Amino acid sequence: MKRYTFLLILSLIAGTSYSQSVDNALKYSRQEFSGTARSTAMGGAFGALGGDFSSLSINPAGIGVYRSSEFTFTPSIEYTESKNSGFSEDKYSFTIGNIGYVASFIPRMAPEKGWQNFNFGVGYNRIANFNREGYLFNLNSETSLLDEWAGLASGSPDNLYSFEEKLAYDTYLINQDDDLNYQSVLSGGDRMDQQKRIDEKGYIGEYVLSFGANYGHKLYLGATLGIQDLYHKTTTSYSEFSLVDNITSLNEFTFSEYMTTSGVGVNFKFGAIYKVTNQLRVGAAIHTPTFYNLDETYDTSVSSEFEPTIPDGFPEDGEAYHSYNSEFVSRTNYDFETPFRTILSAAYLFGKKGILSVDYEMIDYSNSEFSDSDAGNMMLENQDISNSYQSTSNLRIGAEYRLTPHLSLRGGFAKIGDPYKSFIDEGYNIYSGGFGIKQNNFFFDMAYQYKEYDEDFVLYSGSNDIVSLNNTNHQVRMTFGFKF
């Protein structure tokens, strides 16, 4: 069982938290370094190589490797397929993976063993993509969300929880009996078909401002100011449909949740690359936390549809179903801090024919943290983060082989570590490949990336039914570059 099963347990212990969730703390802290097509094809393993604009977001010392000025532009096409119970949903998106400019300044009288060149870079790298859509099904279920709402409801209807139980009461899905206890409109033995639709979109993009230098063609140093732009929109619609032989007059109901999060974060990155020999390079980089300020809108609504109350239980010609709707909206602003990350790297150059590069990244997701704001005290959310996540590592490996002076082939692999402490496992692998063509001052790179991962969901908080969703993601990136 994976993420949502565990979050269900947390919700039962600490109460349901609809904003600043443990899930989003992980989502906003994970990053994939694959801005340019060359970096994507080589698994993002550029910490010790440099000379590629993606390295400004990985190890800023990579900007010191440049010996000429460069402009790159990378459009990207992404396709995500989510499958459940033989039903699949596809989502396509067109993004800008990278756009960047590096200016290299070489002193006219550079000494042999001193500072050789000073470089400046500015641009954009896409580091996360949230786009996907999927459906989950659980047919002929003996349980219902209405039972959960009725069990949680207590006291006066005006004091019920505004996001859920109050909406259920206003739409006649739960009612008070003579003893003022809340009961579901379902009768004993009624079964329901359950369906949940998840529609997610968004991204994290990083605008980088970098500076680097080359000392004696042996030591490369660099620093990057990263400004991250985050946008995340999630729509979930959970529905239950009454079976034909049910006693209840309820025909169907839908509980919808809408969450939109947007904001800006700032971080700093520092790095070094050292050329041990002409063939071997080693690198190290430290990324400070990204300090976000985020605005969030959370909106829930419930709609219900009942059959008309007539003797035979079926509507007559021209007689409409009874429908009800209710909605509640909240808006909050809060701060969020991602964890530190450390990247150690090594690369070996086989003359002018080949490259083998490895990056090892360490990050402790339990150090993610929400800060006080008008959203209120977030100690419970931060404690859930600490209890849920652990320190983990990511491994990225890339290779390049130059077939001719103008044509190179590339391949890459990344193993993304499991961030959870207990029985949940959300680690996954990424496979990639591509080629590059260089002609005079122009170069063109193309890359394909594939990843697959599974998620287990509970359809609603309190349910014991686990439904699995299989996700496959395909990306194609093309980089157009000019050196001058």
pLDDT tens per residue across span 19-33? 347 788 989 999 887
Is 80 exceeded by the pLDDT of residue 242?
yes
Percent of the chain with pLDDT over 90: 61
Interval 273-310: pLDDT, tens: 999 999 999 999 999 999 999 999 999 999 999 987 54
The Cα–Cα gap between 360 and 174 comes to: 53
Fold of 3-144+186-483: Porin (2.40.160)
**From 139-148, 190-199, 347-356, 416-425, the region with the lowest mean pLDDT:** 416-425
Residue 106 binned pLDDT confidence (cut-offs 50, 70, 90): confident
Is 50 exceeded by the pLDDT of residue 262?
yes
Interval 384-429: pLDDT, tens: 889 889 999 999 999 999 999 999 999 999 999 999 887 777 789 9
Contact between residue 482 and residue 442 where contact means Cβ atoms under 8 Å apart: yes
| Sign of the alpha-carbon torsion through 5, 7, 11, 16 | negative
Domain parsing of the chain, residue ranges:
3-144+186-483
The Cα–Cα gap between 251 and 292 comes to: 44
Is 70 exceeded by the pLDDT of residue 432?
yes
The Cα–Cα gap between 193 and 174 comes to: 18
Distances 136 to 18, 141, 238 between C-alpha atoms, Å: 20, 13, 9
**From 259-268, 341-350, 359-368, 371-380, the region with the lowest mean pLDDT:** 371-380
Name the pTM for this structure: 0.86
Q: What is the mean pLDDT of residues 444-468?
A: 84
Predicted pLDDT of residue 309: 56
Is 80 exceeded by the pLDDT of residue 110?
no
Residue 313 binned pLDDT confidence (cut-offs 50, 70, 90): very low
Q: What is the mean pLDDT of residues 178-195?
A: 89
Interval 243-259: pLDDT, tens: 988 888 899 999 999 99
Predicted pLDDT of residue 86: 61
Distances 319 to 241, 251, 308, 322 between C-alpha atoms, Å: 20, 15, 7, 9
